[in-house]
Structure 1
Amino acid sequence: MDLWTFHRYADPRLCVDAIEHAPDASAIALTQGDAKYVLALDDPASATRMAAELATLRDGGAPLWDLMREAGADGWGALGAFLDGRALIGEGHDGIRQTLAARIAAIDACIDGTIAAIRADLPTHRLDRLVAHAAVLRIESDMALASATLGTTGDPFDADVQPNFHLGLIIAEFAYFRNSAPLTLIAAGVMLARIAGDQAALPESDAIVEALALYDPRDLESHLWLIARALADSTGDAALRFAVPPIPNLPTLSGLEFMRRVEMLTRSTLGKWGENPYVTMLDALGDRWSPLIAGPFIEQYHVTCRFVEIIAPNLSRRLVAPLRAMMFRYFGEEVGHEALESTTCETLGITQAALDRAVPLPLHFAFVDLLTLMAQVDPVTSCASVMVIEGVFGEPPKMSLRLASVARTNPAFSDLAGDHDELNEDLNHNSISRDAFEHIVAIPPATQARVMRRILFLLELNHRAWGGIADFYGSQTSLHLQGPLGRPLAPGGGSA
């Protein structure tokens, strides 16, 4: 952490109620509230001069401030540190109104730009459905603001409750926003209202001011794009949930036996769905280079930068001792892995500036959100979901993106994927779910059904996320990233 010093004030002001000095005294008293600080000098004349100099510090433009900044740790610099250490220096610069107004204007522009971009890409015959879905989701966003309930009609991860995958995803995102990005939840509600035909605005409230001061506008931008893209996709023919095997009706099971059943359900489900679109497109390349190869590593960078968020909520739970220790160890083994991904991207000619400006593909951003939400609200599903991230036990975790284990023959892909693959394999990360459930004594039937439904949703999100990579990168002839509002972004960070 950086050490705070008084040099960091933009417009420092001495904040005291009184500077007291008697003409024949060699001391000065600084009074602030019920605190008094006495500065002793060599003689009354020096004290008189010092009192006059201190009085000028009530003005941020006083020359003495420059002397104090340049003095180092001694003399005037030591005095500045003394005053700041007793909270006697205040910040005179007040740009609150201008800053808040600029942030509100930026959010408004982002909302309007996002709506325009989505409408421009959507066929005319789906626009009415877009408006109808936005009206329904606006109610859901309002309910998420008012209550911690996950969905107004039941679990959005349950295909019987919400058969439209993208609507279920958005409702789940609202729960994530409530916990982790309340400003985004409010902004998403405004965006949905405008799509539905109401000219809504960000409300004026203390909660908005607090949120504007705290939350990252770049994440808000990415999340609004995620919501808008999912809303648009909810109007299409491919929005219905994938077919899945039936969830078995079982008695109370031990944790380890339940995890075995989840693995069986996962293998059966993935077999039913077949090869994901990315693998199909990758295999068709043979040994040729294509932007398709770079896609997973770009998106993996964004996933890995946030990966520890998936684990962090479980660190504060009073879990049984072995499970708690495992979570802390997993967290420690994942910290800093984004350096591997950024190095890979650098070898592909992608600068850090481009990665910083890029907007993650929507379903990849959502993947981290939903895994984090599970850790926040459902620790049993969170433990099982590690399998979705790291791979099913018994399958080699040979995929840098860590969203699935896939076969590929392209040597360029294999060379790039190696470092992170080997690290995950050395750390036995596809054993984590089994290791966790070994320490969970019992899983009752209702919990089993809930967890399996949610795992099936995460598997579908994973499968669709791979399709998103194939769609975005597979059609490119020269590599570009996704920039703001879906615009092409060059690997160097400029417009493509």
Structure 2
Amino acid sequence: MERWDIDRYRRPALVPCEVSSGGEVLTIGIADDLIDLSFEGVARDEVAGVVEQLMRPSSDVWVKLNEGECPAWIRALTEQLDALSLIEETDCGIASVTSDTERAIALCAQVGRRLAVVVEKRLAMYKDVLAAVHTMLADNVQDREQAAFPFSNEEAGPLANNFALQALYFQLAYARRNAPELLIAWQRVLAEVFAHLRWHPATAIAQDTTRDGINRIASLDSTDLQMYLLSFAHFVEIAPLRVGRRVTSAPTDNLREPCSGLVLAARAERLLLKALDGLGGNVYASAALASDAITPLVKGLYIEQYHVTDRFVEILGPLLSRRLKRNLRTRLFQYFQEEYGHEAFELATCVALGVNEADVRASVPLPLTALYIDAYTVLADRLPTAFFTSIMVTEGLRDQRSPVHEHIAALVERALHAGDIVVKHGETNDELNHPSLSRLFLADVPFVTPQEQRDSLDAALFMLEVNVRQLESVAFFYGDQTQLRFHGLHEGRRPLEI
């Protein structure tokens, strides 16, 4: 981390003080405190004059200091005053906040209008969905304290068997803990939709329309705001459609006795293998196997993988502060150390394939990529057993090959300068035995209740579906491109469409 210095202030000023002199000492008074300034080789009156000017942020002294035109003793003086915490930033940033807020509000309105155009065409189909989402945005303790999977049965209301609404549930759970500003942004999107439709659910939720509340949206990173606005709109858009239905499920009512973690791991492996067979082929697999060149489809895969690995610290973070058994905590910290920094592999691969590094960093992850990250983070926070069970989805099932990923890796290995990077990443994962992680974690969980079993198995199935859908969204967005375009709303980018 770099050192703080006086040049980092935008509009600095010395804290208002009284200046007095006596003999060779100059005294400045700040409230009840007196500070004596001694100096050599400079007239006392000259120092007093500079101190007087330093109290004015518009003083020429600050301008000359910033331009490197002040004598060395003035810089030394300001650095000493800053070390005493007597220099303050007078630029409150209101102009910047106002500008950022206006841009954020405009972005919310833009996404809201886009969603409204889709909804307007089939309003009757969307009314129940809009009412459900409107209610989900209510910030109450009951929602926040629900179990990881409150929708694993038919009594779960509109969330039952609806993948899109379950996805929104996870993103709302993530936002309430990590980015409550998003709730205000999403409410503004819905308000824009309702205003356009001239219709709203009977039970209205009061929005935070205060200036402070609206300004909170501006505290979000602009790329993150785009990501979550587009993700929210996407899942609302597909919720009443066939593509929005949940396609993975398994009867778990027969799980009425406790079991060990290793038993749960074996049950999850059998369940996932069966679910994979039931899902059959997918658009991504077909498109990837048909590709014999480094196309935007290939580049897009590594761009989205970069976004996932770039937020790995966030995903695992909630587990690292838990007071778990010592051996399990040791494994978690080892996993953290083994995965930390893997985004460098993905980014290096993107660059080697000819993608600009700054563009990759600034790109907006696809909605399913955002969900992938958020859902794992919520599971890690709310139900570690479900996280341990479902992590086999992302790390791979033991002794299972992936012809699609092998084909893509072979393509990239043949690309200029990219092969060594990809091979190193793959070898690193193999050497670390990450496909065994679920079993290794769950081996240190001796007792799993029936409810935890049901939640954990449903979590594994849900994450499997998220994974498959995320890969298909990569194929859908990048697959038909001849020249790489990034996801987003600005600079010629485009949002994901159904």
TM-score by length of 2: 0.86
| Stretch moving more, 153-162 or 54-63 | 153-162
The answer as to 2:46 corresponding to 1:49 is yes
Aligned position for 1:128:
124
Which of 258, 265, 284 is the equivalent residue of 2:264? 258
Q: How much has 1:327 moved relative to structure 2?
A: 1.6
Question: Secondary structure at 1:29's aligned position in 2?
Answer: strand
Is the CA contact (8 Å cut-off) linking 1:141 and 1:171 kept in structure 2?
no
Q: State the aligned residue count.
A: 476
Q: How much has 1:177 moved relative to structure 2?
A: 0.5
Is the CA contact (8 Å cut-off) linking 1:302 and 1:360 kept in structure 2?
yes
Structure 2 vs 1, CA of residues 105 and 65 (structure 1 numbering), >3 Å: closer, same or farther?
closer
In structure 1, stretches of 5+ residues that fail to align are: 400-404, 490-496
CA distance in 1, matches of 2:30, 2:284: 66
Is the CA contact (8 Å cut-off) linking 1:163 and 1:241 kept in structure 2?
yes
Structure 2 vs 1, CA of residues 38 and 382 (structure 1 numbering), >3 Å: closer, same or farther?
same
Aligned position for 1:138:
134
The answer as to 2:447 corresponding to 1:442 is yes
Aligned position for 1:155:
150
Question: Secondary structure at 1:143's aligned position in 2?
Answer: coil
CA distance in 2, matches of 1:183, 1:108: 12
Letter of the structure 2 residue corresponding to residue 133 of structure 1: V
Structure 2 vs 1, CA of residues 355 and 430 (structure 1 numbering), >3 Å: closer, same or farther?
same
Aligned position for 1:171:
169
CA distance in 2, matches of 1:311, 1:328: 9
Aligned position for 2:24:
26
Question: Secondary structure at 1:142's aligned position in 2?
Answer: coil
Is the CA contact (8 Å cut-off) linking 1:67 and 1:76 kept in structure 2?
no
Question: Secondary structure at 1:28's aligned position in 2?
Answer: strand
Q: How much has 1:179 moved relative to structure 2?
A: 0.8
Structure 2 vs 1, CA of residues 291 and 26 (structure 1 numbering), >3 Å: closer, same or farther?
closer
Share of identical aligned residues, percent? 29
Structure 2 vs 1, CA of residues 447 and 123 (structure 1 numbering), >3 Å: closer, same or farther?
closer
Aligned position for 2:203:
none
Q: How much has 1:452 moved relative to structure 2?
A: 1.2
Q: How much has 1:444 moved relative to structure 2?
A: 1.2
Q: How much has 1:367 moved relative to structure 2?
A: 0.3
Aligned position for 1:107:
104
| 1:386-410 Cα deviation digits (max 9, x unpaired) | 21111112325x69xxxxx856478
Question: Secondary structure at 1:293's aligned position in 2?
Answer: helix
TM-score by length of 1: 0.87
Is the CA contact (8 Å cut-off) linking 1:306 and 1:368 kept in structure 2?
yes
Which has the higher relative contact order, 1 or 2, with Cα contacts under 8 A spaced 6 or more apart? 2
Which of 451, 458, 467 is the equivalent residue of 2:463? 458
Question: Secondary structure at 1:482's aligned position in 2?
Answer: coil
The answer as to 2:185 corresponding to 1:187 is yes
Is the CA contact (8 Å cut-off) linking 2:248 and 2:465 kept in structure 1?
no
Letter of the structure 1 residue corresponding to residue 221 of structure 2: D
Q: How much has 1:208 moved relative to structure 2?
A: 4.9
Structure 2 vs 1, CA of residues 234 and 27 (structure 1 numbering), >3 Å: closer, same or farther?
same
CA distance in 1, matches of 2:49, 2:245: 76
The answer as to 2:425 corresponding to 1:412 is no
Structure 2 vs 1, CA of residues 75 and 460 (structure 1 numbering), >3 Å: closer, same or farther?
same
Task: Tell me which stretches of 4 or more aligned residues in structure 1 moved more than 4 Å.
Answer: 66-69, 71-74, 144-147, 157-160, 198-202, 205-209, 413-417
Letter of the structure 1 residue corresponding to residue 60 of structure 2: P
Q: How much has 1:159 moved relative to structure 2?
A: 6.6
Alignment of 1:28-427 (within 5 A): 28-41=26-39, 46-66=43-63, 68=65, 70=68, 75-96=73-94, 98-120=95-117, 122=118, 125-143=121-139, 148-150=144-146, 155-156=150-151, 161=156, 162-197=160-195, 203-204=209-210, 206=212, 208-209=214-215, 211-212=216-217, 214-247=219-252, 248-285=254-291, 287-288=292-293, 290-396=295-401, 408=407, 411-413=410-412, 415=414, 417-427=422-432
CA distance in 2, matches of 1:289, 1:39: 66
